[in-house]
């Protein structure tokens, strides 16, 4: 028996895996806001000083907002993946764990991007992390489609959407890298727009 067959042989409870993942997502999305610290004021009664302090926090707030929507979209798509499967095995669970590994890492590049908003490497570092996470989640999508797709979904149609998802993940980083040499704010716009493409699931049940 090959190593992959061994991982596929053992089945795990889908509900527990989804509940564990939901808990991780909840912690990640909470940690993001902790990177935005309350500004220190020399004069605590000065509205002008507070206003400028909040303006200086704008890059961190923008980074937080972009990251929040990325994590939210990851969670929505993760939820949809589990709707596609009738059961899961150890191989899928470890794909899920590695995906969560990179999603858990997102607060770190988010903090760096917020601290150094005009640093091209900081901005692209964030893009690289979310791209890898997107790619791994697409691998989960592919694995479930190939092995455990429920009968309510058309396998040919879902497989087509899987291939499209594989192309979208690296495309994000490639485009963001290119436009960053034109203006450093352009990658932020791309990062802000991309989650909207994934607000709704790609797949529909048969007959819909």
HSE, CB side, 13 Å, CA atoms: give it for residue 138: 20
11 within some domain: no
4 within some domain: no
Per-residue tokens: 112: 């760096």
Local mean pLDDT, 10-residue blocks, the chain (208 residues):
57 83 93 85 87 89 87 89 86 92 92 89 90 90 87 80 78 82 87 75 58
Count the domains in the chain: 1
* Amino acid 103: pLDDT: 94
7 within some domain: no
* Amino acid 193: pLDDT: 81
Residue 2 CB-density burial (10 A; 0-12 exposed, 13-18 middle, 19+ buried): exposed
- List pLDDT tens digits, range 106-155: 989 988 988 898 899 998 899 889 889 988 998 999 898 888 888 887 78
* H/E segment holding residue 63: helix 58-84
Structural domain boundaries enclosing 150: 16-198
* Amino acid 105: pLDDT: 93
6 within some domain: no
Supply angle C-alpha 100, 105, 108, rounded to 5.
160
52 within some domain: yes
182 within some domain: yes
Give the span between the Cα atoms of 63 and 119, in whole angstroms: 13
* Amino acid 201: pLDDT: 63
Residue 93 · residue 140 · CB < 8 Å: no
* Amino acid 25: pLDDT: 95
For residue 88, give the nearest of 7, 178, 164 by alpha carbon.
7
155 within some domain: yes
206 within some domain: no
* Amino acid 101: pLDDT: 95
Give the span between the Cα atoms of 109 and 71, in whole angstroms: 13
Full-model pTM: 0.84
């Amino acid at each position: 028996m090959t190593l992959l067959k061994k991982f596929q042989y053992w089945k795990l409870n889908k509900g527990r895996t989804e509940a564990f993942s939901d808990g991780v997502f909840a912690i990640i999305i909470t940690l993001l806001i902790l990177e935005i610290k309350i500004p220190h004021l020399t004069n605590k009664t000065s509205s002008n000083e507070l206003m400028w302090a909040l303006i200086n926090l704008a890059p961190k707030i923008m980074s937080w907002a972009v990251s929040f929507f990325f994590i939210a979209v990851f969670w929505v798509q993760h939820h949809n993946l589990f709707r596609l499967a009738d059961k899961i095995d150890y191989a899928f669970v470890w794909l899920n764990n590695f995906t969560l590994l990179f999603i858990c890492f997102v607060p770190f590049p988010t903090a760096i991007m917020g601290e150094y908003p005009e640093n091209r490497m900081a901005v692209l570092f964030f893009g690289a992390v979310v791209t890898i996470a997107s790619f791994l989640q697409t691998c989960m999508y592919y694995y479930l489609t190939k092995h455990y797709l429920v009968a309510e979904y058309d396998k040919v149609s879902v497989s087509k959407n899987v291939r499209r998802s594989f192309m979208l993940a690296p495309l994000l980083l490639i485009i963001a890298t290119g436009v960053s040499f034109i203006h450093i704010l352009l990658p932020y716009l791309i990062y802000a727009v991309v989650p909207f493409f994934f607000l709704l699931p790609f797949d529909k049940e048969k007959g819909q």
